[in-house]
Structure 1
Amino acid sequence: MVDVAKRAGVSRATASLVIRDAPGPSAASRERVRAAAAELGYRPDVAAQALRRRQSRLLGVMFSAHDPFHADLIESIYAATEDAGYNVVLSAVVPSRDEHRAFDALTASRCAAVILLGASEAGATDFGSQLPVVEIGRPPKGTQFDAVHTADDEGARLAVDHLVSLGHRDIVHIDGGDRPGAAERRAGYLEAMRSHGLEQQARVLPGDYTEQSGSAAARTLVDSGELPTAVVAGNDQCAVGVLDELRRSGVDVPGQVSIVGYDDSRLARLAHVDLTTVRQDAEQLVRLAVTSVVERLDGGRELDPEPRVFSLSPHLVVRGSTAPARLTRTAG
């Protein structure tokens, strides 16, 4: 900062005001300081600024490195946090790095608050005691922090209703295990099947939102010798696993089996996937989450013990992986 001030011919205080975009300096002084900063390659020390303010203006984001929908959420998070005057610190959950290590890394980075993307139910209950937390993706259970989620039971019903409207009756659901929204999606599927008088045909296969679980479930269906006419997958990744395994087995999608995913992630929009899916509004989910946590930090809600919960309605996006049901159900 001293070097910038000398180069611009102003005081250090004036240079600091310009760098912080604070009122006071003239237009000419601002131009000189910015030019000097550019020439010297000066960048503000974010850590030092945080120590002076006693708040970092950093929002941590804990996410799964293997979830394409989290990539969509993160893209929206950058835009929303920048508008709110915060920067983002990312911490990934991978097989060799569990949720607690990922969360601890964010607290060690002096994040003012944390946004959880798809935390496990067991892990989520442990977070939130150290700093403000908001979760995207799961209705709160046993937690005392804010949450933003999609009405996943409603989304599963949309998927089943769409397939029934195409004449499908033998519709299988591949579960998401203990992942966020899985219980609600499973309940929505079962309720929709009952509402159409198809409770006897309802089948739920195990899964965990991964492509591998979708492939394994599809292999089970193919090996059984009798395919359903449609599959509602727990999410888009799982649906892609189903799609790939069925095509490798010579099964026509959607001619013999229709597939519906969930999320409308960038994966679903790939031309060779062309997946019918239930859309979650990533931009709206993020906007509500960032607004919620910023209000706790800057708007006087930091001591409010009552968590706020926002639930958004999903929408069905019809693409090329669904078609009217055919009579034959045998594996190809």
Structure 2
Amino acid sequence: MSKHVTIRTVARLAGTSPSTVSAAFNPGSRISPITREKIINAADQLGWRPDRRASALRKNTNSVIGMIYEVSRPFQSSLVDSVYAAAAKHDLEVVLAGGTEHHSELACLRLLLAERCRGLIVTGSSLANRYLEEAGRIIPTLTLARYSSAHNVDSVYSDPVEGERMAVQHLYELGHRHIFHIGGVKRSMAPEREKGYLSAMSDSGLIDLAHVLQCGDDTEAGVRGADLLTTGDHLPTAVTCYNDAVASGVILRLRQYGFRIPQDISVVGYNDLTIAANPAFSLTTIRQDGYLLADKALELLAARLSSDPLAPSKEKTEIAVESHLVVRSSTGPVPEK
């Protein structure tokens, strides 16, 4: 089939006008079902479909932004609906690009730039700053629920230092002093949360008791973390975890070893995903408000799009959103000796 097929080619084959062809591909347009079917059949025969983004660009009304997220990461996936809802308030459409084992975040970035999106939201963690900066030179770019030091990329995230401070303070008030942290290695916001934990331990006069175990960001990482906790010389009375998935793995493994939660060890998660409220875990956790994060992100991105988005004078903007402590039954008073 010729690659020069256009809307006029379809109109000639269907015996209609180009405007009628356009209407046939717009839901709700007032054309007869018979005419619509004839046009769609002609388009199918020619292998043609309308290019929505090209049309929007011609009209200078392109309202499409791209979002990169990691499909296997529950919190990132939970942000998708929040972004959809926030984008609708600004009459923006969202095109998703999901990073997987066989489709990298860099591939997602290249795809969305090729789609000529007007703006970009990145929630993943593997894109290096140089790629984010390259994207930022082309379209307004923003990282959501992660911090980026890229000089031309905005960031909206929950304050990790404050989040870990709340977790450690909660445990401190329950009498705990021997508190460990299971970190997410190089995952999104992992270094910042570790920094928050160490800062909170220092502020509580416990820095000499602070200990970080680098394990990862999934349930298996929590299992490994629990193995390390139980093989050390001194078992802590409490542990804060990189996220809820890690915390659930810690609880599952500790129960296998015969430990009671929280009577023997208290466990705190992070994110407050669905698993945290599951009665099997009932996790005390730090809640990130996905809808608030998305609202702030889309307000900022929409403002960039309404002005000169790539002006040299544009200053990087960082917005740290409050997080909240959610207390459930995975934490309790320090066990009596």
Task: Measure how far apart 1:46 and its partner are.
Answer: 2.5
Q: 1:144 and 1:220, CA in 2 relative to 1: closer, same or farther beyond 3 A?
A: same
Does residue 319 (structure 1) correspond to residue 328 (structure 2)? The answer is yes
The 1:36/1:152 distance shift into structure 2, 3 A limit, reads: farther
Q: Which residue of the partner structure matches residue 73 of structure 1? A: 79
Paired position in structure 1 for 2:191 = 183
Partner Cα distance (1:162, 1:194) in 2: 15
Residue 232 of structure 2 corresponds to residue 224 of structure 1: yes
Percent pairwise identity = 35
In structure 1, runs of 5+ residues without a counterpart are: 3-10, 22-30
- 1:96/1:13 CA distance change after superposition, 3 Å: closer
1:86 counterpart (85, 92, 110): 92
SS in 1 for 2:276: coil
Would the alpha carbon gap of residues 258 and 38 (structure 1) be closer, same or farther in structure 2, given more than 3 Å must change? farther
C-alpha RMSD over aligned residues:
3.1
Indicate the residue corresponding to 1:159 in structure 2.
167
Q: TM-score, normalised by structure 2?
A: 0.82
Contact 2:139 2:310 in 1 (8 A): no
Q: Deviations over 1:237-274 (max 9, x none)?
A: 22122122212222211121111111112232233222
Please give the secondary structure, in 1, of the residue aligned with 2:315. coil
> Which residue of the partner structure matches residue 14 of structure 2?
none
In structure 2, the gaps of 5 or more residues are: 1-6, 9-16, 41-48
Instruction: Measure, in 1, the Cα distance between the counterparts of 2:221 and 2:236.
Output: 17
- Displaced runs of 4+ in structure 1, greater than 6 A? 11-17, 41-44
Query: Residues 12, 118 of structure 1: CA spacing in aligned structure 2 closer, same or farther, 3 A cutoff?
Result: closer
Aligned position for 2:302: 294
Q: How does 1:1-332 map to 2 (within 5 A)?
A: 33-34=29-30, 36=32, 40=36, 46-54=52-60, 56-120=62-126, 122-123=128-129, 124-224=132-232, 226-303=234-311, 304-328=313-337
Q: Specify whether residues 252 and 92 from structure 1 end up closer, same or farther in structure 2 by C-alpha distance, changes over 3 A only.
A: same
Q: Structure 1 residues 51, 312: CA separation in 2 closer, same or farther (over 3 Å shift)?
A: closer
**What displacement does 1:277 show?**
0.7
SS at match of 1:263: coil
C-alpha spacing 1:110/1:256, structure 2 compared with 1 (3 Å): same
| Native 8 Å contact 1:276 1:322 kept in 2 | yes
1:134-156 deviations in whole A, cap 9, x for unaligned? 11123331331111111111110
Tell me the number of residue pairs that the alignment of Structure 1 and Structure 2 aligns: 312
Provide closer, same or farther for how the CA distance between residues 56 and 212 of structure 1 changes in structure 2, counting only shifts above 3 A. Answer: farther
Deviation at 1:47, TM superposition (A): 3.6
Structure 2 CA distance for aligned equivalents of residues 15 and 121 of structure 1:
41
Tell me the CA shift for residue 92 of structure 1: 1.4
**Equivalent position of 2:44 in the other structure:** none
Shift of 1:170: 0.9
Kindly tell me: are residues 38 and 119 of structure 1, through their superposed partners in 2, closer, same or farther at Cα, counting changes over 3 Å?
farther
